[in-house]
């Protein structure tokens, strides 16, 4: 605790490096990896994805065994067999998006609830670079975690399926698209989550809004009768995702490019709102 340890004064007019974007990105990555809660949520995502794929593989196998005694069911099963198995590695994706989305909410809302934001935004007073850096860290992490856990899920499910004479072909166009779009979708949900965390500055509020948007609203829209809700349901993010990865689109479905554009809007609008709010509001 001696004051003598202070550095000597720098020469007049010379000042060291400031918060360039790569440095801010590095800082956000350090912040990301040094929280236990982050690591727990990432591990949970992997666990849930692998667990669901294994369960699903076992279920499909059991069902195929049971249907062997019934020739009609067996024929129907054989017809859609490939489609059934191709979805297995990403069968836990709904939970992955919820967990990674919540993680994204938390990473931003905790800045405000703990007061860390005051440190963050005195180091980066322009604020937007810190937001973009955090966004990049969160979305890339969400994408990578989703891809890696899908692959691990494939590794876990394959031996189970082989027992029943099935295999998963990751090489088909549909499989590849499913994997890639799932990863992008989880990243998109994380981006929405981070915007909610920035706008609401409250962990519980942000996570509940996310759950509302992705789990409650789609179900509510399905239950409420009427053409309006039937039509509006198509534009909910979850259904847009389903449409993009669907092997055979339903009657009257949106085109893939339309669905992708709408999903882009779902991500862009909250992001822009969050960035404007962050720049304008007091910390």
Partner 1 sequence: MIEATGLTKVYGDKTAVDGVSFTVQAGHVTGFLGPNGAGKSTTMRMIMGLDRPTSGSVTVNGVPFAQHSAPLREIGSLLDAKAVHTGRTAYNHLLAMAATHSISRKRVQEVIDMTGLGEVSKKKVKGFSLGMGQRLGIAAALLGDPQTIILDEPVNGLDPEGVVWVRNLVKYLASEGRTVFLSSHLMSEMALTADHLIVIGRGRIIADAPIGEIITGKGQSRARVRTDQPQQLMRLLAADGVSVEVQDHELLEVTGLPPREIARTALDNRIMVYELTPLQASLEEAYMELTKDEVEYHSLITTGVAAPAQTGGNR
Instruction: Note the residues at the interface with partner 1 (CB under 8 A).
Output: 1-3, 5-7, 9-10, 15-19, 23-24, 26-28, 30-31, 34-37, 110-111, 114-119, 121-126, 280, 282-283
Residues 226 and 220 sit within 8 Å (Cβ to Cβ) = no
% helix, strand, coil for the chain, step of 5: 80, 0, 20
Assign 170 to helix, strand or coil.
coil
Nearer CB in complex with partner 1: 32/266: 32
Closest separation between CB of residue 11 and partner 1, Å?
Answer: 12
Closest separation between CB of residue 4 and partner 1, Å?
Answer: 9
Nearer CB in complex with partner 1: 23/174: 23
d(CA 44, CA 215): 19
Closest separation between CB of residue 201 and partner 1, Å?
Answer: 14
Tokens of 251: 């009657």
Which residue is listed with tokens 């949970």? 44
DSSP 143-166: HHHHHHHHHHHHHHHHHHHHHTT-
Closest separation between CB of residue 3 and partner 1, Å?
Answer: 4
Nearer CB in complex with partner 1: 24/160: 24
Nearer CB in complex with partner 1: 32/154: 32
């Amino acid at each position: 605790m001696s004051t003598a340890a202070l550095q000597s004064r720098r020469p007049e007019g010379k000042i060291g490096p400031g918060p360039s974007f790569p440095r801010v990105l590095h800082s956000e990555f350090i912040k990301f990896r040094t929280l236990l809660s982050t690591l727990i949520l990432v591990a949970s995502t992997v666990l849930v994805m692998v667990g669901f794929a294994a369960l699903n593989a076992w279920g499909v196998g059991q069902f195929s065994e049971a249907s062997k005694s019934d020739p009609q069911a067996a024929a129907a099963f054989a017809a859609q067999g490939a489609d059934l198995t191709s979805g297995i590695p990403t069968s836990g994706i709904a939970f992955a998006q919820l967990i990674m989305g919540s993680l994204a909410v938390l990473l931003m809302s905790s800045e405000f609830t703990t007061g860390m934001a005051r440190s963050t935004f005195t180091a980066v007073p322009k604020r937007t670079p810190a937001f973009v850096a955090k966004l990049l860290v969160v979305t890339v992490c969400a994408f990578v975690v989703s891809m890696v856990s899908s692959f691990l899920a494939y590794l876990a499910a394959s031996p189970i399926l082989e027992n029943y004479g099935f295999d998963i072909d990751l090489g088909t166009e549909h499989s590849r698209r499913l994997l890639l779009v799932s990863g992008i979708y989880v990243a998109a949900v994380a981006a929405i989550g981070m915007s909610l965390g920035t706008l609401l500055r409250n962990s519980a509020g942000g996570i509940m809004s996310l759950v509302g948007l992705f789990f409650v609203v789609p179900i509510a829209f399905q239950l409420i009768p009427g053409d309006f809700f039937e039509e509006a349901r198509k534009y909910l993010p979850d259904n847009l995702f389903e449409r993009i990865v669907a092997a055979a689109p339903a009657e009257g479905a949106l085109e893939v490019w339309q669905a992708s554009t709408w999903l882009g809007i779902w991500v862009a609008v909250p992001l822009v709102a969050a960035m404007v709010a962050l720049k304008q509001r007091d910390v």
